[in-house]
Chains A and B, each alone.
Chain A
Amino acid sequence: MIEFQNVQKTYLVSGRQVPALQSTSLRVEAGEVFGLIGHSGAGKSTMLRLINRLEAPSGGRIMVDGEDVTALDSAGLRAFRRRVGMIFQHFNLLSSKTVAANIAMPLELAGGHSRAEIKVRVDELLARVGLTDHARKYPAQLSGGQKQRVGIARALATRPKILLCDEATSALDPQTTGQVLQLLAEINRELGLTIVLITHEMDVIRRVCDRVAVLDAGTVVEQGTVADVFLHPKHATTRRFVFEAEHVDEGDLMSSYSHVEGRILRLTFRGEATYAPLLGRIARETGVDYSILGGRIDRIREEPYGQLTIALVGGDLDAALARFDAADVTVEVIR
Chain B
Amino acid sequence: MDAFLAFFADIDWPEIWQATLDTLQMLGWSMFFTVLLGLPLGVLLFLTGKRQLLEQPIVYGLLSFLVNVLRSIPFIILLILMIPVTVWLIGTSLGVEGAIPPLVVGAAPFLARLVETALREVDRGIIEATQAMGASLWQIVTRTLLPEALPGLIAAATVTAIALVSYTAMAGVIGGGGLGDLAIRFGYQRFQTNVMVVTVVLLLILVQVLQMVGDRLVVKFSRR
Q: Which A residues lie at the B interface, using CB under 8 A?
A: 52, 54, 77-82, 84, 86, 88, 90, 92-97, 105-106, 108-110, 138-140, 154, 158, 164
A88 neighbours in B (Cβ, 8 Å): 125, 128-129
Stretch with Cβ within 8 A of A (4 or more), from B139-147, B183-191, B196-204: B139-147
Interface SS, A side: mixed
In the complex the two chains form, what is the Cα distance from A14 to B34 in whole Å?
38
Asked whether, in the complex, the Cβ of A92 is within 8 Å of the Cβ of B125, the reply is: yes
Asked whether, in the complex, the Cβ of A90 is within 8 Å of the Cβ of B125, the reply is: yes
B58 at the interface (CB under 8 A from A): no
B132 at the interface (CB under 8 A from A): yes
In the complex the two chains form, what is the Cα distance from A109 to B136 in whole Å?
8
CB distance from A261 to the nearest CB of B (A): 56
In the complex the two chains form, what is the Cα distance from A97 to B147 in whole Å?
9
Residue in A54, A90, A94 whose beta carbon sits within 8 Å of that of B148 in the complex: A94
A138 neighbours in B (Cβ, 8 Å): 223
Residue in A78, A92, A106 whose beta carbon sits within 8 Å of that of B123 in the complex: A92
In the complex the two chains form, what is the Cα distance from A79 to B135 in whole Å?
9
Residue in A78, A93, A96 whose beta carbon sits within 8 Å of that of B147 in the complex: A96
Asked whether, in the complex, the Cβ of A96 is within 8 Å of the Cβ of B150, the reply is: yes
Asked whether, in the complex, the Cβ of A81 is within 8 Å of the Cβ of B131, the reply is: yes
* 24 interchain pairs, CB-CB under 8 A: A52-B132, A77-B134, A78-B134, A78-B135, A78-B136, A81-B133, A81-B134, A86-B129, A88-B129, A90-B125, A92-B128, A93-B126, A93-B129, A94-B144, A96-B221, A96-B223, A105-B133, A106-B133, A106-B134, A109-B133, A109-B135, A110-B134, A140-B223, A154-B133
Known: A92-B125, A95-B223, A96-B150. A86 touches B144 (CB 8 A): no
Residue in A84, A105, A164 whose beta carbon sits within 8 Å of that of B143 in the complex: A105
B144 neighbours in A (Cβ, 8 Å): 94
A81 neighbours in B (Cβ, 8 Å): 131-134
CB distance from B121 to the nearest CB of A (A): 11
B224 at the interface (CB under 8 A from A): yes
CB distance from A153 to the nearest CB of B (A): 13
Residue in B126, B128, B134, B139 whose beta carbon sits within 8 Å of that of A94 in the complex: B126
A94 neighbours in B (Cβ, 8 Å): 126, 144, 147-148
CB distance from B48 to the nearest CB of A (A): 18
Known: A78-B136, A97-B147, A109-B139. A92 touches B126 (CB 8 A): yes
